[in-house]
Chains A and B, each alone.
Chain A
Amino acid sequence: MSFPWAKEYTPAHPFMKWMDEKLPVPRLIYNAVGGGYEVPRNLNYFWNFGFLAGLCLVIQIVTGIVMAMHYAANTGVAFDTIEMTVRDVNWGWMFRYAHANGASAFFVVIYIHIFRGFYYGSYKAPREMVWLLGVVIFLLMMATAFMGYVLPWGQMSFWGAKVITGLFGAIPFVGEPLQQWLLGGFAPDNAALNRFFSLHYLLPFVILGVVILHIWALHIPGSSNPTGVEIKSESDTVPFYPYYVAKDGWAIGVFAIAFAAMVFFFPNALGHPDNYIPANPMSTPAHIVPEWYFWPFYAILRAFTQDFFFIPAKLMGVLAMFGAILVWFFLPWLDKSPVRSGSYRPTYKKFFWFGLIPAMAVLFYCGGAPAAEPYVMFSQIAGLYYFAHFLIILPVVSAIEKPLPLPYSITEAVLGKDEGAELAPSA
């Protein structure tokens, strides 16, 4: 994106001039994340989380490459190689815990990033493609995280793999052959462990590729902002460098403190003790739960206990679980409001804070609880509300609500007045 007031890249040093003619990487950097990229001046801290998500991806790739140097994907030794990495390899414990907690940190950051999109309507035109690519990244992250959790070959690894690949067995007719094809056998075993390791190494680089597309698509309209009003003039913007580079640097500091606290003081707080028991195909742990970041979706999976017309409960649960994320793909078209930011949408805002967020909190809690009443009933009610929010409440509310008056410009929202507004006909 380039506004008329954005500065052109002009190499000063002869070497940079030579470079600019041959391979204009400095020009790309200047225009994409440098002084030539004009960004709304009013971004709040929620806008740091895209950058932090990129940082998490880098942390996961770097620590993951180190883990792979010490790991062996064989059911006989996989569990031991992880334990030996932690106990015997120099600094192995740090890399292992940074990688395991890095996955959790990545999901914390990405959930806040998605929440930002929900509240501020970041998915709306002209940024639909940014949103769609983001949902693709989220799905790839879930697949990568799931396969990574299988690799230590503990009890939760094994039974998680069995339950999740069992989901595919719910598909009519092709389910069972498909499940055996995915596993390369009748149950998770060496074949499954090896291909999961192969794909767990591959997918982060696929994510990296989609992230580049995500950022590319973002740079065409440029970032949205908390008012949702598009940029009108130079006074609405500041250059990315130094302003947002500095602000993202501050975000790194805060993130690093929280992340270091987890890695160094509570490395197993988010893990399951059962995963320190080597995988045993003959005995299921009493309470199988996925990692915390899958809980809301796991609750939806388990909410179906009765057959629904001719569709078996198991298939319904699987469809609903995937549907809970796939519905996000349609968000730019389900939301019909001309106003982008939730701050100016009084009715939507109420449903968002007092409907969707509590429903997701209930699903999150129930997903980590045992599969018993009253949690199943709570999951059913919250799951129903979750889908109703996207498929009924959002389209209806966005079509009928009267939004609050928007500021004329970002400048007016920030400074209280905008000289440009006084020249322009009243908005």
Chain B
Amino acid sequence: MAEEDGVRRRDFINIAAVSAAGVAGVGVVIPMVSQMSASADVLAASSTEVDISNIDPGQAIKAVFRKQPVFVRNLTPKEISEANAVPLSSLRDPQTLAERTKEGKENWLITMGVCTHLGCVPLGAGEGENRGEFGGYFCPCHGSAYDTAARIRKGPAPKNLEVPEYEFTSDTVVKIG
């Protein structure tokens, strides 16, 4: 008999019922958690094309990519040499300007306009805005200063401004995303 084996009919029913309830519970939690993730319309491919023909050296513009600002900046030769003169060992997030731009287009610095500290939009892309003590971008929220390669140099931000995926579809058009 089953009772002599040490497994009673009620034990089996009990364990089976609790297990089924546990699996069902997990099955309900998964959609509950998942529904909060970015929905399909938010994730839907959102690439942005930017016309860069009107950006003179030293100027920058703000474009919109995934509802967040992107800085497209035409660096002057002085700004490029300033960026290249910085020893990598002194950087918090060591990267060269060449690693952050496309080959042959070193003057086009394209980064997210989102401070890596807490997500404010740094100043410096707009006309006449404060570019901070390193001549790149300056975040007014908590004082992070970026250099002319948009690398973090001072303040609480941990990383350089993010370089999004992009390509030059022609000499005057950049496709971001």
Which A residues contact B (CB, under 8 angstroms)? 159, 162-163, 165-167, 169-170, 180-187, 189, 191, 195, 281-284, 286-288, 302, 304-305, 307, 312-315, 317, 371-372, 376
Task: Classify the interface of chain B: helix, strand, loop or mixed.
Answer: loop
Stretch with Cβ within 8 A of A (4 or more), from B1-9, B95-103, B153-161:
B153-161
Q: What are 15 A-B contacts with C-beta separation under 8 Å?
A: A159-B120, A162-B118, A163-B118, A169-B118, A181-B37, A183-B38, A185-B42, A189-B42, A281-B67, A282-B121, A302-B156, A305-B156, A307-B92, A313-B158, A371-B140
Partner of B155 from the list A181, A191, A305 (CB cut-off 8 Å) is: A305
A317 touches B141 (CB 8 A): no
B22 CB within 8 Å of chain A? no
A314 touches B156 (CB 8 A): yes
B140 touches A186 (CB 8 A): no
Besides the known contacts A186-B38, A187-B67, A288-B120, 5 further A-B residue pairs in the complex with CB atoms under 8 A apart: A163-B118, A187-B66, A284-B122, A302-B156, A313-B156
B140 touches A167 (CB 8 A): no
B36 touches A284 (CB 8 A): no
B68 touches A371 (CB 8 A): no
By Cβ-Cβ distance, the 8 closest A-B pairs, closest first, are A166-B118, A166-B119, A312-B158, A163-B118, A284-B121, A284-B120, A371-B142, A162-B119
Bound together, the chains give a CA A175 to CA B62 distance in angstroms of: 26
Partner of B37 from the list A167, A184, A286 (CB cut-off 8 Å) is: A184
Please name the residue on chain A nearest to B37 by beta carbon: A181
Size of B's binding interface in residues, CB under 8 A: 31
Q: How many A-B residue pairs have CB under 8 A?
A: 95
Partner of A282 from the list B69, B139, B142, B158 (CB cut-off 8 Å) is: B69
CB distance from A349 to the nearest CB of B (A): 36
With a cutoff of 8 Å between Cβ atoms, the chain A residues found around residue B67 in the complex are: 185-187, 189, 281
Give a binary string over B33-46; 1 marks a CB under 8 Å from any A CB, 0 the rest. 10011110010000
With a cutoff of 8 Å between Cβ atoms, the chain A residues found around residue B37 in the complex are: 180-181, 184
Given A186-B67, A187-B66, A281-B68, verify A372-B143 contact (CB < 8 Å): yes
Bound together, the chains give a CA A288 to CA B158 distance in angstroms of: 20
Please name the residue on chain B nearest to A288 by beta carbon: B141
Bound together, the chains give a CA A313 to CA B67 distance in angstroms of: 27
With a cutoff of 8 Å between Cβ atoms, the chain A residues found around residue B117 in the complex are: 166, 314
User: Which of B116, B117, B118: most chain A Cβ within 10 A?
Assistant: B118
A182 touches B119 (CB 8 A): no
Given A162-B120, A166-B118, A186-B68, verify A191-B156 contact (CB < 8 Å): no
B91 CB within 8 Å of chain A? no
With a cutoff of 8 Å between Cβ atoms, the chain A residues found around residue B64 in the complex are: 281-282
With a cutoff of 8 Å between Cβ atoms, the chain B residues found around residue A372 in the complex are: 143
B140 touches A163 (CB 8 A): no
Give a binary string over B115-134; 1 marks a CB under 8 Å from any A CB, 0 the rest. 01111111100000000000
B141 touches A282 (CB 8 A): no
A287 touches B121 (CB 8 A): no
B39 touches A184 (CB 8 A): yes
Please name the residue on chain A nearest to B65 by beta carbon: A186
Bound together, the chains give a CA A61 to CA B157 distance in angstroms of: 39
With a cutoff of 8 Å between Cβ atoms, the chain B residues found around residue A371 in the complex are: 140-143
Bound together, the chains give a CA A422 to CA B123 distance in angstroms of: 75
Bound together, the chains give a CA A182 to CA B120 distance in angstroms of: 18
A167 touches B118 (CB 8 A): yes
Partner of A187 from the list B68, B143, B158 (CB cut-off 8 Å) is: B68
B120 touches A163 (CB 8 A): yes
Bound together, the chains give a CA A189 to CA B39 distance in angstroms of: 12
Bound together, the chains give a CA A321 to CA B5 distance in angstroms of: 58
CB distance from A118 to the nearest CB of B (A): 29
B119 touches A163 (CB 8 A): yes
With a cutoff of 8 Å between Cβ atoms, the chain B residues found around residue A315 in the complex are: 158
A184 touches B121 (CB 8 A): no
CB distance from A186 to the nearest CB of B (A): 5
With a cutoff of 8 Å between Cβ atoms, the chain B residues found around residue A180 in the complex are: 37-38
With a cutoff of 8 Å between Cβ atoms, the chain A residues found around residue B36 in the complex are: 181-182, 184, 195
Bound together, the chains give a CA A385 to CA B176 distance in angstroms of: 48
CB distance from B60 to the nearest CB of A (A): 13
Please name the residue on chain B nearest to A183 by beta carbon: B38
CB distance from A278 to the nearest CB of B (A): 15
With a cutoff of 8 Å between Cβ atoms, the chain A residues found around residue B116 in the complex are: 314
B38 touches A281 (CB 8 A): no
Bound together, the chains give a CA A283 to CA B92 distance in angstroms of: 26
Bound together, the chains give a CA A34 to CA B120 distance in angstroms of: 53
Bound together, the chains give a CA A281 to CA B64 distance in angstroms of: 9
B121 touches A314 (CB 8 A): no
With a cutoff of 8 Å between Cβ atoms, the chain A residues found around residue B39 in the complex are: 184, 191
CB distance from A280 to the nearest CB of B (A): 9
Interface residues of B in 135-153 (CB under 8 A from A): 139-143
Please name the residue on chain A nearest to B155 by beta carbon: A305
A191 touches B38 (CB 8 A): yes
Bound together, the chains give a CA A305 to CA B62 distance in angstroms of: 28
With a cutoff of 8 Å between Cβ atoms, the chain B residues found around residue A281 in the complex are: 64, 67-69, 121
B156 touches A317 (CB 8 A): yes
With a cutoff of 8 Å between Cβ atoms, the chain A residues found around residue B42 in the complex are: 184-186, 189, 191
